[in-house]
């Protein structure tokens, strides 16, 4: 009898999907099968009414332990999410009532942002940019849901969100400044003070030909959204207001 769980979680029970009646280790196993078969529907775990003990095979309502043999299904159990995980304590899993789901990392390490609609790390409590329901969106690269994703999500300087792996792929596939911009709003992904300082050095060391030295052009800064007139330079155009080189011709 297999009592170890799936590649997503370790547990000692399987769930009966309320949508199709099939038996799976977890909702992710169910959803992955639906994708491969082309059915496309996802399980609503709050609607799970039956689980099957993997020790005695008894079918029963969801609970922390088997009502027949007494085995504990998972060291961590959330009755709101119908979620079991033997590694949950180690992962510091906690249930956020405002998110409505369980999250990893320890409740004391996160705060819930009502505007963004999700739990965020305490480290960015006073510095993150709020975007209405930022986490209730699809990843702009893979178009998969971010809110309930099991893949690490990155919160960008502009407040938009993206899968960490997708961001890495995006940076590899794009060239120049485009690899440093949010794919949704073009604001710089992070603060690039050191990069802008290096750009200053390169511009200073690369004088333009005499006929171009006094040429003025209009630019718009993608970071501060302000327009300015600056001297033309082949390497880039610095915003005089915020010092960013993340600019475009007006």
- Residue 13: name the closest of 43, 22, 2 by CA: 2
- Looking at residue 52, its pLDDT comes to 97
Pair of tokens at residue 20: 């199709």
* Complete edge-to-edge strand list for the sheet that includes strand 227-231: 227-231, 216-221, 247-249
The residue whose two tokens read 């009532």 is 97
**Which domains are seen in the chain, by residue range?**
1-90 (no CATH), 92-190 (3.30.40.10), 193-249 (2.20.28.10)
- Looking at residue 33, its pLDDT comes to 85
Pair of tokens at residue 148: 């309930």
- Looking at residue 103, its pLDDT comes to 92
Per run of 10 residues, the mean pLDDT along the chain (length 250 residues) is 77 93 91 76 88 96 96 96 93 94 94 95 94 94 88 93 93 83 94 94 94 94 95 95 95
Q: Note whether 109 and 122 are within 8 A (CB).
A: yes
* Number of Cα atoms under 13 Å in the Cβ half of residue 248: 11
- Looking at residue 34, its pLDDT comes to 80
- Looking at residue 42, its pLDDT comes to 81
- Looking at residue 246, its pLDDT comes to 95
- Residue 180: name the closest of 128, 247, 239 by CA: 247
Q: How far apart are the first and last CA of the chain?
A: 67
């Amino acid at each position: 009898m297999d009592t170890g769980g799936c590649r997503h979680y370790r547990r000692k029970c399987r769930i009966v999907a309320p949508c199709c009646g099939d038996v799976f280790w977890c909702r992710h196993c169910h959803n992955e099968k639906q994708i491969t078969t082309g059915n496309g529907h996802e399980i609503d775990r709050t609607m799970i009414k039956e689980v099957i003990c993997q020790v005695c095979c008894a079918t029963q309502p969801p609970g922390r332990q088997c009502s027949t043999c007494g085995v504990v299904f998972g060291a961590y159990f959330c009755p709101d999410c119908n979620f079991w995980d033997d590694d949950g304590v180690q992962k510091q899993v906690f249930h956020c009532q405002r998110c409505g789901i369980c999250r990893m990392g320890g409740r004391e390490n996160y705060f819930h942002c009502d505007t963004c609609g999700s739990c965020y790390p305490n480290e960015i409590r006073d510095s993150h940019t709020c975007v209405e329901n930022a986490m209730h969106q699809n990843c702009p690269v893979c178009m998969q849901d971010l809110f309930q994703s099991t893949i690490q999500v990155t919160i960008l300087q502009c407040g938009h969100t993206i899968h960490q792996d997708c961001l890495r792929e995006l940076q590899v596939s794009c060239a120049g400044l485009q690899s440093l911009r949010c794919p949704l709003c073009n604001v710089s992904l992070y603060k690039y003070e050191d990069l802008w300082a290096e750009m200053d050095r390169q511009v200073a060391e690369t004088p333009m030909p005499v006929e171009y030295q006094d040429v003025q052009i209009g630019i718009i800064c993608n970071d501060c959204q302000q327009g300015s007139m600056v001297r033309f330079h082949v390497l880039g155009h610095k915003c005089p207001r915020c010092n960013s080189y993340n600019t475009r011709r007006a």
